[in-house]
Amino acid sequence: MAFKFTILFAACIAVASAGVVPVATPLAAVAQVEEYDPHPQYTYGYDVKDALSGDSKTQVETRDGDIVQGQYSLNDADGYRRIVDYTADPINGFNAVVRREPLVAAVAAAPAVVAAPAPIVRAAPLAAAAPLAYAAAPAPIVAAAPAPIVKAAPLVAAGPAIVKTQFASPLISYAY
């Protein structure tokens, strides 16, 4: 068995040295160097207002070096708009201030104004109308006689009921 392995190994070495199998290039030559920005800067934002679903949210964020500032807002289910202002920097870390504002501005109640009472106007008397005529006389109401009360025969007590139950198994037999 060791002889077969030695022959196979020698054949692989011979094929590789003959140039039939391509040799892999070193990985260090293929790797690319990424660019590093020592002072990154960006600004982005979005605004969503969907009248069909009622979804409304916004966000704005800016970065200048290691300092990030932003704000986002959304409508909560309880009728308030949540507004979050945040900052992040290497000295103070991440800090956020949350505010809540009602979606519908409160309407101040106007003072009650009492108007002068309106004058009473009397209408002219109604003219006498002709009496109403019926097309047919109503059917007379006939009182029905009450139904007779029928008494049933008394129940007869029959003695105690005897029920026999039998349970059998290959090991135990019961009779009740």
The total domain count for the chain is 1
pTM score over 0.75: no
Residue 92 lies inside a defined structural domain of this protein: yes
- What are the tokens at 148? 């007779």
User: What pLDDT band is residue 90 in, cutting at 50, 70 and 90?
Assistant: very high
Residue 96 lies inside a defined structural domain of this protein: yes
CATH of the domain at 84: 2.20.130
Residue 109 lies inside a defined structural domain of this protein: no
Residue 162 has a pLDDT of 56
Residue 79 lies inside a defined structural domain of this protein: yes
User: What pLDDT band is residue 150 in, cutting at 50, 70 and 90?
Assistant: low
Residue 71 lies inside a defined structural domain of this protein: yes
CA–CA dist 49, 144 (Å, integer): 73
135-146 pLDDT tens trace: 566 666 666 666
Q: Is 97 exposed, middle or buried (0-12, 13-18, 19+ CB in 10 A)?
A: exposed
Residue 70 lies inside a defined structural domain of this protein: yes
Structural domain range at position 93: 56-102
